[in-house]
Amino acid sequence: MIPRSVYTEEHDMFRDAVRKFMQREIQPNIEQWEEDGQISREAWLKAGEAGILCSHIPEEYGGAGVDFRYSAIAIEEQGYVFASGPGFSLHSDIVAPYILHYGSEEQKKKWLPKMCTGEVITAIAMTEPGTGSDLAGVRTSATEDGDDYIINGSKTFITNGQMADLFIVVAKTDTSAGAKGVSLFLVEADRAGFARGQNLKKVGMKSQDTSELFFDNVRVPKSNLLGQKNAGFIYLMQELAQERLSVAIIGAAVAKACYDETVKYVKERKAFGKPIAAFQNTRFKLAEIRTELAVTQTYVDRCLELHCEKKLSIDAAASVKLWATEAQCRIVDECVQLHGGYGYMWEYPVARAYADSRVQRIYAGTSEIMKEIISRTI
Q: List the domains of the chain with CATH numbers.
A: 9-120 (1.10.540.10), 123-230 (2.40.110.10), 234-375 (1.20.140.10)
Which residue out of 239, 243, 292, 334 is catalytically annotated?
243
CA 308 to chain centre: 18
| Cβ contacts of 260 within 8 Å, gap of 6 or more | none
Strands (E) in the chain, as ranges, are 122-125, 141-145, 148-159, 166-172, 182-188, 194-199, 210-221, 225-226, 270-271, 274-275
Q: pLDDT per residue over 154-197, tens digit each?
A: 999 999 999 999 999 999 999 999 999 999 999 999 999 999 99
> Along the 378 residues of the chain, how does pLDDT read in single tens digits?
899 999 999 999 999 999 999 999 999 999 999 999 999 999 999 999 999 999 999 999 999 999 999 999 999 999 999 999 999 999 999 999 999 999 999 999 999 999 999 999 999 999 999 887 778 889 999 999 999 999 999 999 999 999 999 999 999 999 999 999 999 999 999 999 999 999 999 999 999 999 999 999 999 999 999 999 999 999 999 999 999 999 999 999 999 999 999 999 999 999 999 999 999 999 999 999 999 999 999 999 999 999 999 999 999 999 999 999 999 999 999 999 999 999 999 999 999 999 999 999 999 999 999 999 999 999
Closest CA to 86 of 45, 55, 114, 127: 45
Catalytic (active site) residue 105:
no
Distance from the Cα of residue 299 to its chain's centroid? 19
